[in-house]
């Protein structure tokens, strides 16, 4: 069974409309509450999905940045080996000693550029991991908010069946708590 917040909201609105035809003011108010809570639950559910996607995307991009950094560090190590080999060859003397010494110096400059790029990729990775954690934190709060809103809808249904105001008040409280959790998701 799939969970489609928009479809759930539509279904709850239909139930509310049917209940409103009874012309009981209490039933009408509770029915309107169901419709409002359903729209809020669908909206919070959509935000929850967006945050989950953001967490996954940021995490994947962080892995790619780490891969790029790893490749650059591998290149840095290879250039370090070349630098040492050319340095040894230059120290050995011979006709090409000056050329080998120059190549060893070039490797030092190349290594500095590669190191800067690798550090840049690692910084990007860290930034993306932090973004992923923030998206995940928002997602968890929004999941709780959506759950409270959906429980509020269910309790409204109980209020209609039993015609008890206490259940309706409880559903309003759960709806308010769900909205508070939604706000907290973005304030922390």
Q: What is the pLDDT of residues 22-60, one digit of tens each?
A: 678 999 999 999 999 999 999 999 999 999 999 999 999
pLDDT mean over 155-175: 96
Q: Tell me what pLDDT residue 23 has.
A: 76
pLDDT at residue 188, rounded to an integer: 80
In angstroms, the CA 106 to CA 90 distance is: 13
Could you give the CA distance from residue 29 to residue 134 in angstroms, rounded to a whole number? 38
- 154 with 41: CB under 8 angstroms? no
0.85 surpassed by pTM = no
Mean pLDDT of 6-15: 64
- The domain containing residue 19 runs over which residues? 5-187
Q: Please compute the mean of the pLDDT values over residues 84-94 and round it to a whole number.
A: 90
User: What's 164's DSSP letter?
Assistant: -
* Cβ contact 49:138 at 8 Å: no
pLDDT band at 19 (very low <50, low <70, confident <90, very high): low
Q: What is the pLDDT of residue 61?
A: 97
Number of domains in the chain: 1
Looking at the chain, the whole-number percentage of residues with pLDDT higher than 70 is 88
């Amino acid at each position: 069974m799939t969970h489609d917040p928009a479809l759930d909201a539509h279904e709850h609105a239909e139930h509310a409309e049917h209940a409103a035809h009874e012309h009981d003011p209490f039933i009408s108010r509770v029915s309107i509450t169901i419709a409002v809570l359903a729209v809020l639950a669908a909206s919070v559910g959509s935000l929850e999905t967006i945050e989950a996607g953001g967490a996954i995307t940021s995490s994947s991009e962080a892995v790619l940045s780490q891969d790029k950094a790893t490749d650059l560090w591998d290149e840095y190590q290879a250039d370090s080996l070349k630098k040492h080999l050319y340095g040894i060859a230059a120290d050995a003397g011979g006709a090409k000693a000056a050329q080998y010494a120059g190549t060893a110096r070039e490797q030092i400059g190349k290594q500095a550029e590669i190191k800067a790029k690798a550090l840049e990729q690692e910084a990007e990775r860290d930034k993306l991991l932090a973004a992923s954690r923030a998206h995940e934190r928002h997602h968890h709060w929004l999941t709780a908010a959506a759950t409270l809103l959906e429980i509020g809808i269910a309790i409204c249904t109980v209020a209609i069946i039993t015609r008890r105001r206490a259940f309706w008040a409880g559903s309003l409280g759960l709806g308010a708590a769900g909205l508070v959790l939604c706000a907290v998701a973005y304030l922390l």
